[in-house]
């Protein structure tokens, strides 16, 4: 059965190549572009979704806006790129859907559905988020406390994922969405790593059934999900430079833990406070915030915060005017912070003492 399916697929491929060559001779560039675009569109026939528009294109898949005709709501469909007959990518997309389905949190985009389209491409449907990416939204955030509050909400979502045994591994401004009502969502869990392998064996076996493309084209053998997991991880560098921890950049996958995401969060915090790329930031940050960023982004993972909650607590301490754990203040800095925190009260006491001096001077003369 499998070999027949592949023979048919190969035949179709040859046919399309031949047809394309003929078409290229007689059609204009514009017509060819339109034709190419329409062939890249996913075949949603037989599903409850109606395609509306392409929203974004990533390394693994294309995100489309679609209408769920049964529930009459807009959803976002993440569909594997064309040509999508790669078992590794298909399994990763399905794995991403499963990881997301396990993470029910207001800061993580919920998954509604997953499956395979008529054209063989794997997809999953998720909430349609109306808003802006953080790197676009940041311009509208004028004050540092506003940005820190956004950062804290990102931390909440990441801490939740860590508590469920999931590492994001690709935290960066482009993967954070800020909704039109201020909701903050951590997106693109395609590189997520499960710290605890809770996906059961039967689920992994289901991968082979759901993901037809995981069948090796030549031998017809099913690639086990555990092997796919290894190839997406060990020795391969996945992530975004500038936001990747040194151990992640070095491909040391077995060393990755929550502290790797904490590195990315530190880089994200620095970006939020400098508005520039982490490597090129030059704006002088407040020393406490700089110390928080430096601790989170320490090259040695032992020197970083051990949990996202610790990082969150330090940022909260800063926001509330307390000393942060990452920075040892001088006496002058302590006094300055006390004054900033209790400015009105300090001024009142000063006014009282001044009044007292004036009363003494007036009464003596």
Partner 1 sequence: MNKILLGLLLGAVLGAIDGGTAWFYPEVRAQMVGIIVGSTIKGLIAGVAAGIFARKVNSVPLGIVFGLAVGFVLAFLVAYMQHDHYFAIILPGSIVGLLVGYATQKYGVLPATAR
Distance CA(80)–CA(78), nearest Å, equals 7
Distance CA(46)–CA(63), nearest Å, equals 19
Q: Is residue 365 a contact residue for partner 1 (CB under 8 A)? A: no
Subset of 218-237 contacting partner 1 (CB under 8 A): none
* One of 10, 14, 345, 347 touching partner 1 (CB under 8 A): 345
Q: Which stretch binds partner 1 (CB under 8 A): 41-49, 231-239, 281-289, 350-358?
A: 350-358
Number of residues that bind partner 1 (CB under 8 A): 13
Sheet architecture: strand order including 176-179: 131-133, 176-179, 184-186
Total Cβ atoms within 10 A of residue 307: 16
Q: Is residue 343 a contact residue for partner 1 (CB under 8 A)? A: no
Q: Is residue 170 among the annotated active site residues? A: yes
Instruction: Take residue 260 and report the two structure tokens written for it.
Output: 């790797």
Total Cβ atoms within 10 A of residue 343: 10
Q: Is residue 300 a contact residue for partner 1 (CB under 8 A)? A: no
CB of 327 to partner 1, least distance (A): 24
Closest C-alpha to 269, from 134, 105, 131: 134
Q: Is residue 347 a contact residue for partner 1 (CB under 8 A)? A: no
Q: Is residue 356 a contact residue for partner 1 (CB under 8 A)? A: yes
Q: Report the relative pairing of strands 122-127 and 61-68 from DSSP bridges.
A: unpaired
Q: Enter the DSSP assignment of 236.
A: -
Residue of 68, 88, 119, 170 with catalytic role: 170
* One of 142, 284, 300, 363 touching partner 1 (CB under 8 A): 363
Max alpha carbon distance in the chain (Å)?
112
CB of 124 to partner 1, least distance (A): 44
Strand partners, 73: 68
Q: Is residue 354 a contact residue for partner 1 (CB under 8 A)? A: no
Residues near partner 1, by CB under 8 A: 342, 344-345, 348-349, 352-353, 355-356, 359-360, 363-364
Residues involved in catalysis: 170
């Amino acid at each position: 059965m499998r070999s027949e399916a592949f023979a048919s697929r190969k035949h179709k491929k040859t046919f399309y190549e031949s047809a394309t060559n003929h078409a290229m001779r007689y059609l204009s560039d514009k017509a060819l572009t339109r034709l190419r675009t329409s062939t890249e569109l996913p075949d949603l026939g037989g599903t409850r979704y109606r395609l509306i528009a392409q929203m974004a294109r990533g390394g693994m898949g294309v995100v489309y806006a679609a209408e769920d005709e049964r529930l009459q709501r807009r959803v976002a469909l993440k569909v594997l790129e064309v040509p999508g007959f790669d078992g590794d990518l298909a399994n990763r997309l399905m794995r991403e859907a499963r990881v997301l389905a396990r993470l029910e949190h207001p800061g993580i985009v919920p998954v509604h559905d997953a499956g395979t389209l008529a054209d063989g491409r794997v997809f999953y449907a998720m909430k349609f988020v109306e808003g802006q990416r953080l790197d676009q939204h940041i311009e509208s955030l004028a004050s540092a406390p506003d940005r820190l509050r956004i950062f804290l909400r990102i931390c909440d979502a990441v801490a939740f994922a860590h508590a469920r045994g999931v590492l994001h591994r690709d935290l960066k401004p482009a993967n954070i969405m800020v909704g039109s009502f201020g909701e903050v969502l951590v997106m693109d869990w395609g590189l997520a790593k499960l710290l605890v392998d809770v996906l059961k064996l039967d689920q992994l076996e289901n991968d082979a059934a759901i993901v037809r493309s995981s069948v090796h084209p030549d031998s017809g053998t099913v690639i086990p999900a555990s092997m796919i997991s290894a190839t997406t991880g060990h020795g391969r560098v996945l992530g975004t430079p500038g936001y990747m921890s040194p151990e992640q950049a070095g491909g040391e996958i077995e060393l990755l833990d929550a502290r790797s995401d904490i590195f990315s969060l530190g880089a994200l915090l620095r970006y939020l406070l400098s508005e520039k790329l982490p490597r090129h930031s030059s704006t002088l940050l407040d020393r406490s915030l700089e110390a928080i960023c430096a601790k989170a982004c320490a090259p040695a993972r032992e020197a970083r915060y051990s949990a996202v909650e610790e990082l969150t607590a330090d940022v909260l301490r800063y926001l509330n005017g307390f000393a942060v754990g990452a920075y040892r203040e001088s006496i002058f800095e302590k006094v300055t912070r006390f004054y900033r925190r209790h400015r009105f009260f300090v001024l009142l006491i000063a006014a009282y003492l001044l009044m007292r001096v004036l009363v003494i001077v007036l009464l003596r003369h």
